[in-house]
Homo-oligomer: A and B are copies of this chain.
Amino acid sequence: MSGEIEKTVVDKARAAREAARALASATSAAKDRALGAMAEMLSGNAAEILDANAVDVEGARGAGSPAAFVDRLTLTEARVEKTAQGLREVIALPDPVGRVIDGWRRPNGLEIRKVRVPLGVVGIIYESRPDVTVDAAGLCLKAGNAVVLRGGSEAIESNKALVRVIRTAVESAGLPRDAVQLIETTDRAAALKMMKLNGLIDVLIPRGGAALIQRVIENATVPVIETGVGNCHVYVDRAADLAMAREIVFNAKCQRPGVCNAMETLLVHGAVADKFLPEMAKRLTDAGVELRGCERTRELVPQAKEATEEDFHAEFLSLILAVKVVDSLDEAIAHIGKYGTMHSEAIVTKDYGAGRMFVEQVDAAAVYINASTRFTDGYQYGLGAEIGISTQKLHARGPMGLEELTTYKWVVYGDGQVRT
């Protein structure tokens, strides 16, 4: 049984690799045509997709899944239309493939070129979010990659319907339908096999919660791009503009608490804590935020619960905020170094030196002076759509757009050079 599942996974990855060869030399025009067909056919087949989705939603409800989970799983005509619109936006983005990144001539006459090429076959392991199926397929295709999708089991019927439509659309544009593969078995063995297909899958991108990402990191031998877990901090310096700090803190926590670039811990310099914290705490509490503070915080903010060590490590993804009063910029930086996940970190300060030191010493994908952590996002940076936010240091850091779905190749032109 498990052997059969593994064979299916290998067969799909092999078909993807074959398709990747054709995609690597596909023109931008052909890829954009495929994206356009995908968008059109998703809209045109919305009824079929929604029927399949209804089966998944019913299953999830029957299994007693939480409302937020069911919401992420649910497609509506408007949501299908939104994914189609997303594909149309990808068409408008420049094709990263073929760009000469660098180049020079060597003394012996060799012409050296560093040229952007697709990664090849990208594996995406994600949770039960059908919109990711469309996004990932679209972005991978535009960057010239074949994709092997392995979504959460609760979304399997939706994913099957979506991928059926997508593959038909790709083929209608003259590209190989095998460029988009869905692992249809929901058995764990399939995901495990996928993680070890070195040579067939070039890179794995897990998208989802900390547990999913951890599972991939621990089991994969294929190179992984770690994404998403964000224990982000805002540090209100002693030299902060406190009014500005209040807006940034409120925005970083409350504007959309369920996402990875939302603030999870607030750090406040002791010299401004009494001026800043009580009023800030009231505004947060009024907005429904539960505060969990260190001892000094709780002296100033009676409504705050006691923060545990675990709270400072937590990615709450909800209206909970850990708060700590620190005695110095150094202490703030050390706290972030110990508890942060190298995602997004912000300082609010008017002090040039403090800002400079924070930027230099905080080791994170994105570091902000006087702005909300919520900006770590491909669209907000002006990169266009993103496939995820990398929290590792290899290959890509922060928002990963089309360029991050490519690699490069050295192309060397000679006229008979040999090495002496």
Verify B369–A412 contact, CB threshold 8 A: yes
Bound Cα distance A351, B198 (Å): 34
Question: Can you report 28 residue pairs joining A to B where beta carbons are below 8 Å apart?
Answer: A21-B337, A25-B361, A104-B382, A106-B380, A106-B382, A119-B393, A203-B393, A247-B416, A250-B418, A251-B418, A251-B419, A359-B411, A364-B409, A366-B412, A368-B414, A369-B411, A369-B413, A370-B417, A371-B413, A372-B419, A374-B418, A375-B412, A380-B419, A394-B394, A394-B395, A395-B395, A397-B407, A398-B410
Residue in contact with A120 in the complex, picked from B363, B409, B416, CB distance below 8 Å: B363
Given A223-B392, A382-B104, CB of A412 within 8 Å of CB of B368 = yes
Q: Is A244 an interface residue (CB 8 A)?
A: yes
A69 contacts partner chain B, Cβ-Cβ < 8 Å: no
* 8 additional A-B residue pairs with CB within 8 Å, beyond A255-B419, A370-B417: A110-B371, A198-B217, A250-B418, A367-B412, A370-B413, A371-B412, A371-B414, A380-B419
Which parts of A63-98 form the interface with B (CB within 8 Å)? none
A: number of interface residues (CB 8 Å): 68
Q: Which residues of A contact B (CB under 8 A)?
A: 21, 24-25, 104, 106, 110, 112, 117, 119-120, 198, 202-203, 217-218, 221, 223-226, 241, 244, 247-248, 250-252, 255, 337, 359-361, 363-372, 374-376, 380-382, 392-395, 397-398, 407-420
* Other-chain contact of A24, B360, B369, B414 (Cβ < 8 Å): B360
What are the residues of chain B within 8 A of A374 when measuring CB–CB?
Answer: 418-419
**In the bound complex, CA of A414 to CA of B346 (Å):** 10
Known pairs A112-B381, A372-B417, A419-B375; A409 contacts B397 (CB<8 A): yes
Contact call B223/A370, Cβ cutoff below 8 A: no
Alpha-carbon gap, A19 to B197, bound state (A): 37
A112 to B366, CA, bound (A): 10
Copies of this chain present = 2
Instruction: Tell me the complex Cα distance, A134–B312, Å.
Output: 40
Minimum C-beta distance from A234 to chain B (A):
11
The binding surface of chain A is classed by DSSP as mixed
- CB pair B407–A394 under 8 Å, yes or no, is yes
Bound complex: CA A25 to CA B359 (Å): 11
**Chain B residue nearest in CB terms to A21:** B361
How far apart are the CA atoms of A368 and B420 in the complex, in Å? 17
A206 to chain B, nearest CB (A): 13
A40 to chain B, nearest CB (A): 30
